[in-house]
Amino acid sequence: MAKSYETEHPVKAFGLAATDSSGHLSPFKFSRRATGDDDVQFRVLYCGICHTDLHQLKNEFGVTPYPIVPGHEIVGVVTEVGKKVEKVKVGDGVGVGCMVGSCRSCESCHEDLENYCPKVIPTYAAPYHDGTITYGGYSDIMVADEHFIVRIPDNMPLDAAAPLLCAGITTYSPMRYFGLDKPGMHIGVVGLGGLGHVAVKFAKAFGCKVTVISTSFSKKDEALSHLGADSFLISKDANEMQGAMGTMDGIIDTVSAHHALMPLIGLLKAHGNLIMLGAPNKPLELPVLPLLTGRKMISGSGIGGMKETQEMIDFAAKHNIKADIELISANYVNTALERLTIADVKYRFVIDVANTLKQS
Ligand code: NAP
Ligand code: ZN
Ligand code: ZN
């Protein structure tokens, strides 16, 4: 029988995997590569549950290679480093976000935009350089090239830092790139979930005025009193939406499902930018006329490069920005995924991997 790379890897690992598009996660034994010269191995302590995990588990993009071990908001403590590693040492708090490899030689890689490298290697469900399929952070041990390791600042709680590795950088990067980071600007945040709630926090730290646009009335009080949003619109309330027409410089759209763009474009000032971050699995309808009449823009953005990810987490530590999390045990993960499907989480589930993921 041909040897598989997965069983050839010498480091025994244990995680949670789905084997079909039901997305149901079950215990899964696998193995990881030995720590190479440029590699950092770490014991996973916490892993956030991103909505992308849910899309992938259910094969909503049609490309999931089962079995899949999801998880790309991974933090832990370094257990071993390769002999060329300089960034971190054994015992340091580290993280891995959405990618574990790229070509390192293309234009995007040279510009510190590994996330836009045509050969970027996502943290799970993708072929790695050696041909094995990558497995994510719903697992007890992780190994990654040091280039794709993020240092977690000492003053940051590791559990609440985990979601920043995807949700944090995904919202921070476009606000910076598109210049929606200036004091006094008015930013809309659509969808108050994992991405949305950290978008509010970053926008407030930039000195912006923030309006949340949500389907969930139940999130209103907390958004205003706790997350620091300045106002809150219910997207289905036509009067409320009408009252805010033409007031926003930019909108961060984090909605994971099909939704109408027309009301959101209406909220923008002339030259405003609607930035699409959510990944609905079906095309959205694009009304063109309201773009022309205000020279408005619709754009997209995907995570961020490694340099900017480190910058984001250092910025978060400096400004006391952390994710609001519901810490769960590994055996609750299937229930958590069901709740995530109906937007029932404030605001990110994080799996307490080290304390609760046990081989029995
Ligand atoms: P999440 O925690 O589930 O948040 C999504 C929010 O969207 C929900 O909390 C809900 O907020 C709103 N929503 C859900 N269904 C809706 C519907 N049918 N109509 C209108 N609003 C709806 O998800 P997440 O982890 O933040 O991820 C959001 C999306 O971004 C996902 O599609 C994910 O795959 C994608 N993503 C993209 C990137 C990237 O690089 N661009 C990175 C990470 C994730 P309210 O209750 O406030 O309405
Ligand atoms: Zn994610
Ligand atoms: Zn590249």
Any ligand 1 atom below 6 A from CB of 201: no
Q: How confident is the model at residue 359 (pLDDT cuts 50, 70, 90)?
A: confident
Q: What is the CATH number of the domain that holds 191?
A: 3.40.50.720
Distance 214 CA to ligand 1 centre (A): 11
pLDDT > 70: percent of the chain? 98
What's the length of the chain? 360
- 158 and 200 in a single domain? The answer is no
Question: Is residue 237, in this structure, part of any structural domain at all?
Answer: yes
Predicted pLDDT of residue 17:
98
pLDDT in tens, 11-43: 999 999 999 999 999 999 999 999 999 999 999
Neighbours of 162 (CB within 10 A): 36
What CATH number is associated with residue 146? 3.90.180.10
Backbone angles phi, psi at 306, to 5 degrees: -65, -40
Give the domain range for residue 293: 167-300
Q: Note the pLDDT of residue 3.
A: 55
51 lines ligand 1 (CB under 6 A): yes
Residue 269 included in any domain: yes
Q: Does residue 95 form part of some domain?
A: yes
DSSP 137: S
For residue 318, give both structure tokens.
């400096």
* C-alpha of residue 115 to centroid of ligand 3, in Å: 8
What pLDDT, on a 0 to 100 scale, did the predictor assign at position 138?
98
With 0-12 / 13-18 / 19 or more C-beta atoms within 10 angstroms meaning exposed / middle / buried, residue 7 is exposed
As a three-state string, the secondary structure of 195-235 is: HHHHHHHHHHHCCCEEEEEECCHHHHHHHHHCCCCCEEEEC
Per residue in 53-66, pLDDT (tens digit) is 999 999 999 999 99
pLDDT tens-digit readout, 188-199: 999 999 999 999
Q: Is 205 found in the same domain as 119?
A: no
Beta strand 248-253 with 231-234 is: unpaired
Dihedral Cα 285, 291, 292, 295, nearest 10 deg:
-150
Task: Please indicate whether residue 195, judged by its CB atom, sits closer than 6 Å to ligand 1.
Answer: yes
For range 42-51, the mean pLDDT: 98
Q: Does 183 share its domain with 142?
A: no
**What is the DSSP secondary-structure string of 235-261?**
TT-HHHHHHTTT-EEEEEE---S---S
Residues 251 and 346 in one domain: no
For ligand 1, atom 39: residue with the closest CA = 302
pLDDT band at 185 (very low <50, low <70, confident <90, very high): very high
pLDDT (average), residues 258-277: 98
Cα 113 to averaged position of ligand 3 atoms, centre (Å): 8
Split into its structural domains, the chain has a count of 2
How far the first Cα of the chain sits from its last, in Å, is: 29
Give the whole-angstrom CA distance, residue 244 versus residue 211: 10
Residues 148 and 206 in one domain: no
The pLDDT of 172-183, averaged and rounded, is 98
Determine the pLDDT at residue 35: 97
pLDDT at res. 287: 95
pLDDT at 172 over 70: yes
Are both 198 and 249 inside the same structural domain?
A: yes
For the chain, the average pLDDT equals 96
Query: pLDDT tens digits, residue range 79-125?
Result: 999 999 999 999 999 999 999 999 999 999 999 999 999 999 999 99
Contact partners, residue 238, CB within 8 Å, separation at least 6: none
Question: Whose atoms come closest to the Cα of 193: which ligand?
Answer: 1
Distance 259 CA to ligand 3 centre (A): 33
Which is it for strands 39-48 and 74-81: parallel, antiparallel or unpaired? antiparallel
Residues 258 and 334 in one domain: no
Q: What pLDDT score was predicted for residue 7? A: 66
24 in a domain, yes or no?
Answer: yes
Whether residue 319 is contained in a domain is answered as no
Q: Which two tokens stand for residue 185?
A: 């600007």
Same domain, 162 and 201: no
**pLDDT band with cut points at 50, 70 and 90 for residue 4:** low
Residues 183 and 53 reside in one and the same domain: no
Per-residue pLDDT tens over the stretch 115-166? 999 999 999 999 999 999 999 999 999 999 999 999 999 999 999 999 999 9
Rounded to an integer, the average pLDDT of 207-216 is 98
pLDDT digits (tens, 9 = 90+) for 278-320: 999 999 999 999 999 999 999 999 999 999 999 999 999 999 9
**CB of 193 sitting under 6 A from ligand 1:** yes
Distance 204 CA to ligand 1 centre (A): 20
For residues 19 and 132, membership in a common domain is answered with yes
Question: How much distance in Å is there from the Cα of 6 to the middle of ligand 1?
Answer: 33
Q: To test ligand 1's pocket by mutation, which of 169, 254, 258 has the most ligand atoms within 8 angstroms of CB?
A: 254
In a domain, residue 294? The reply is yes
Closest ligand 1 atom to the C-alpha of 191? 11
Residues 179 and 268 in one domain: yes
In a domain, 245, yes or no: yes
**Considering the domain boundaries, does residue 310 fall inside one?**
no
> Does residue 195 share a domain with residue 82?
no
